[in-house]
Amino acid sequence: MIGDTSVKIKVVDLHKSFGKNYVLRGINLTVNKGESMVVIGGSGVGKSVLIKCVIGLIKPDSGSIGIDGQEITSLKEGSLNEIRKKFGMLFQAGALFDSLSVWENVGFGLKHHTSLGDGEIKAIAVEKLGLLGLRSVEDLMPSELSGGMRKRVSLARAIAMEPEILLYDEPTTGLDPIMADAINDLIVQMRKKLEVTSIAITHDMVSAYKIADRIAMLYEGKIIEVGTPKQIRESSNAIVQQFIQGKAEGPIKAR
Amino acid sequence: MNAVFGYIGVYFLRFLHESGRISILFGQTIFLIFRPPFNIREALSQMEEIGVRSIPVVVITSAFTGMVLALQTFTGFKRFNAETLVGTVVALSVTRELGPVLTGLMVSGRVGSAMAAELGTMRVTEQIDALYTLATNPVKYLVVPRFLASLVMVPVLVVFADVIGIMGGYFVSVKVLGTNPTVYIRRTWDYMELSDIYSGLLKACIFGMIMAIISCYQGFYTEGGAEGVGKATTRAVVLSCLVILISNYFITAILF
């Protein structure tokens, strides 16, 4: 399958533990080119660990991760950086650099990886911010922005280098429902406009149904079910049903 | 009894683990200094923060140290009629020892804490992860400019400390204790060698590196939210000061 051009990201039998905490226990997940994959699961089941492994922020204990058919788990920092140029990542709280203004944040990748001048970078930053409905914020500092604006600026930074793959770490967490829906719309638009492959992790089912081509459920360190939103909704698996309906009682124990 | 050995073992292993990781960070930093691109703007702004903004603290510290040194030495030396040698003692103590050590300690408190807190906050708010995802090496982007700026600016601050400390001693001896200014200055210059100043500046370079690498390390590997940042900041200052004081003895014993 490694040579299959329609597969963008292929995770095979991924394991990771932190001390005694065995988080990922054999993850298998394939994301096709141009597909929007949403990984759902409870808090603390290792959703973040999974996408951080995919972008090489965390080194897995064993297993393989292929990006465009290239194995990344054995790569050194230098070659990993080349792979990372294919990625954009939206962090949960934005992770904007506080010491830089909004446009410098958005243009960070351009400044470090292209020979563009400040004027051109600022123009691109303003354009990307406009794409996300943000106007005349480019000279503000991140501390002057609201939570929803920070997420959008972070998204602008993630798409500034026109990545092939976007990773979203809980894109709607901590936002009011209207802002959350606006972010969902943006994610859907991004996929249509930029034709990117994406993995989003979330426990917000409204968001998952809206942005996903396929949904994968992570439970006890394994992907227990993958399917279209419709298939997931109709799943016969009691664990999946409990999670998507948000019930306290069932096979998953609230911790 | 076993429990005691257990604790000793655990702490010893942790010590080795931390020393190893600090050494790795130090190695990476040195390696990355010579790799383009060179972020000169960031290094300059760090030099301003570490150097220029530390001048008031260093000046006040060294002025009063020079002054009290003159006062104390005078009291002691008067007992065997050697008051004229106060200038020599002040100059040698300040240039060889007190200038570099006190500057190192004050800068650790002022700058080391800030470095650890800033990098620690960047770690817990995922800004360091964000740097990785933007294909930027955080050690190159964050640690190298701070390390270089400390390496350059701590010795510069020590030059200030030396001059101000000697002037402080002169002021107290001449204006308060009534020593003859000409004799004081001659005694200062007669016994001082250039190597006294060099040795102090060499120490300053080493202290600057120690402070920067320990503080950046503590910040870079912070865990556990706001509380973790607080702990990292404390550890950065305490550990920097301890390592500076301990290494000071060995540098002196080995080199001079």
Judged by CB atoms closer than 8 Å, whether chains meet at B133 and A88 is answered as: yes
Residue B15 domain-assigned?
A: no
Per-residue pLDDT tens digits for B84-113:
889 999 999 999 999 999 999 999 999 999
Residue B23 domain-assigned?
A: no
Q: Which residue does chain A place closest to B38, by CA atoms?
A: A112
Per-residue pLDDT tens digits for A30-41:
999 989 999 998
Residues B52/B44, Cβ–Cβ less than 8 Å: no
Per-residue pLDDT tens digits for A114-155:
889 999 999 999 999 988 888 889 899 999 998 888 988 999
Residue B216 domain-assigned?
A: yes
Tokens 């914020």 belong to residue: A137
Domain with B182 in it: 38-255
Residue B1 domain-assigned?
A: no
* Helical axes B55-78 vs B99-107, angle rounded to 10°: 140
**A12 vs B255: CA distance, rounded Å:** 56
- Min CA distance, B136 vs chain A (Å)? 7
Residue B8 domain-assigned?
A: no
Judged by CB atoms closer than 8 Å, whether chains meet at B134 and A157 is answered as: yes
- Min CA distance, B252 vs chain A (Å)? 39
Helix (H, G, I), strand (E, B) or coil at B193: coil
Measure Cα distances from B110 to A248, B60, B146, B164, B213 in Å.
50, 14, 14, 19, 15
- Using a CB-CB cut-off of 8 Å, the residues of chain B touching A157 are 134
Q: Which residue does chain B place closest to A96, by CA atoms?
A: B127
- Contact partners, residue B74, CB within 8 Å, separation at least 6: B83, B86, B173, B177, B179
Residue of B31, B42, B133, B146 to mutate, interface with A, max A Cβ within 10 Å: B133
pLDDT at B223 over 70: yes
Full strand arrangement of the beta sheet holding A197-202: A87-90, A165-169, A197-202, A36-40, A214-219, A222-227
Judged by CB atoms closer than 8 Å, whether chains meet at B130 and A109 is answered as: no
pLDDT score for A1: 44
Residue B144 domain-assigned?
A: yes
Domains in chain B, number: 1
pLDDT at A3 over 60: no
- Using a CB-CB cut-off of 8 Å, the residues of chain B touching A82 are 135
Per-residue pLDDT tens digits for B170-209:
999 999 998 889 988 988 888 888 888 999 999 999 999 9
pLDDT at A183 over 70: yes
Per-residue pLDDT tens digits for A51-78:
999 999 999 999 999 999 889 998 888 8
Q: Domains of chain A (ranges plus CATH)?
A: 35-56+77-245 (3.40.50.300)
CA angle A113, A115, A117 (to 5 degrees): 120
Measure Cα distances from B211 to A173, B51, B57, B230, B253 in Å.
39, 13, 17, 17, 21
pLDDT score for A180: 87
